[in-house]
Amino acid sequence: MVTRAISRSKILTLVSILVQNLMKKPITHSLLQLKPQASPLHLDLYKPYCGFRHYHDGRPRGPLWRGKKLIGKEALFVILGLKRFKDDEERLQKFIKTHVIRLLKMDMVAVLTELERQEETSLAVKVFEIIRKQGWYKPDVFIYKDLIISLARCKKMDEAMRLWESMRKEELFPDDQTYTEVIRGFLRDGSPADAMNIYEDMVKSPDPPEELPFRILLKGLLPHPLLRNRVKKDFEELFPEKHAYDPPEEIFGKF
């Protein structure tokens, strides 16, 4: 008991002395300075330097953030609405009349591009049909190209050919990549006759054909020797310095 009393009295004495010293001198001049003066070379790691932050502020980084900024809120709302009602034709048409038609030009084009990116090709075609009815619309071969290629890659060749006919009515001609993807789509779909029709159109186009569509046809027409020989003959005339590979006869027969 006596020891405890002595210890408490010592603590109280020290505290009283410390309080008296603090009252006599300001805390900035006290010997018990809490934070030393920073030297000129001292760096505060908690402050940003040269515009860089040392922590993540919660904002998305990279292309995702930049891509979202390019699409307005109204366009994003329309994209979500179209995807929501795509299986209900009646509600979809009502949504198109109340929201899609009232979009501005840039928002409408952004909706079309984003639907293509998400492979919502049928919805993209509906939006394109609305765009074609706008006063500011001018025939654009690149819009047709992107849509036709997207449809061909999604194995929707009927829709792709409807757009193909519309493109030709507007006196627009497909490029080499469009021919290639449509020919590949028909061959993948098991329709070599349709692929040959596109081939004939390619040969008659004002731009000279390139090598890639011929290569795809020569490979896809292996089970059809007569059609393949016809394409091979044209290929050798247009590209005499190139070689067309023929597989062994025991695999597909004699060509």
Task: Summarize the confidence of residues 21-33 as an average pLDDT.
Answer: 51
Is position 7 within any domain? Answer: no
Residue 197 is predicted with a pLDDT of 93
Q: Do 173 and 80 belong to one domain?
A: no
**Cβ neighbours of residue 106 closer than 8 Å, sequence gap 6 or more:** 72
Q: Do 128 and 160 belong to one domain?
A: no
Q: Do 160 and 94 belong to one domain?
A: no
Dig out the tokens for 239 from the structure: 């590209």
Dig out the tokens for 48 from the structure: 């940003």
Residue 2 is predicted with a pLDDT of 46
Identify the band that residue 241 occupies on the pLDDT scale cut at 50, 70 and 90.
confident
Give the tens place of pLDDT for each residue, 170-182: 989 898 899 999 9
Dig out the tokens for 41 from the structure: 């070379």
Q: Do 156 and 254 belong to one domain?
A: yes
Give the chain's domain count.
2
Q: Do 179 and 112 belong to one domain?
A: no
Burial class for 215, CB neighbours closer than 10 Å (0-12, 13-18, 19+): middle
Tell me: pLDDT of 250 over 90: no
Residue 3 is predicted with a pLDDT of 52
Give the tens place of pLDDT for each residue, 52-93: 444 444 444 444 333 444 678 899 999 999 999 999 999 999
Q: For residue 214, how many other CB atoms are within 10 A of its CB?
A: 24
**Contact in structure between 82 and 120 (CB atoms under 8 Å):** yes
Q: Do 77 and 127 belong to one domain?
A: yes
CA distance 121 to 80: 14
Residue 205 is predicted with a pLDDT of 83
Last residue of a domain, one of 118, 134, 150: 134
**Contact in structure between 203 and 172 (CB atoms under 8 Å):** no
Task: Summarize the confidence of residues 194-217 as an average pLDDT.
Answer: 89
- CATH no. for residue 220? 1.25.40.10
Q: Do 129 and 143 belong to one domain?
A: no
CA distance 5 to 136: 95
Task: Summarize the confidence of residues 151-170 as an average pLDDT.
Answer: 93
DSSP 137: -
CA distance 120 to 127: 11
Burial class for 238, CB neighbours closer than 10 Å (0-12, 13-18, 19+): middle
Residue 208 is predicted with a pLDDT of 81
% of the chain beyond a pLDDT of 90? 45
End-to-end distance of the chain based on CA atoms, in angstroms?
A: 115
Name the residue range of residue 89's domain.
63-134
Tell me: pLDDT of 4 over 80: no
Residue 59 is predicted with a pLDDT of 40
State the average pLDDT for the chain: 78
Residue 10 is predicted with a pLDDT of 58
Q: Do 146 and 249 belong to one domain?
A: yes
Is position 35 within any domain? Answer: no
SS3 assignment, position 52: strand
Amino acid identity, residue 110? Answer: A
What H or E segment, with its residue span, contains residue 7? helix 2-24
**Contact in structure between 125 and 160 (CB atoms under 8 Å):** no
DSSP 47: S
Tell me: pLDDT of 47 over 60: no
Dig out the tokens for 55 from the structure: 């922590």
Is position 149 within any domain? Answer: yes
DSSP 97: I
> Across the strands, what pairs with 52?
49
CA distance 81 to 96: 9
Residue 142 is predicted with a pLDDT of 92
Identify the band that residue 30 occupies on the pLDDT scale cut at 50, 70 and 90.
very low
Residue 55 is predicted with a pLDDT of 41
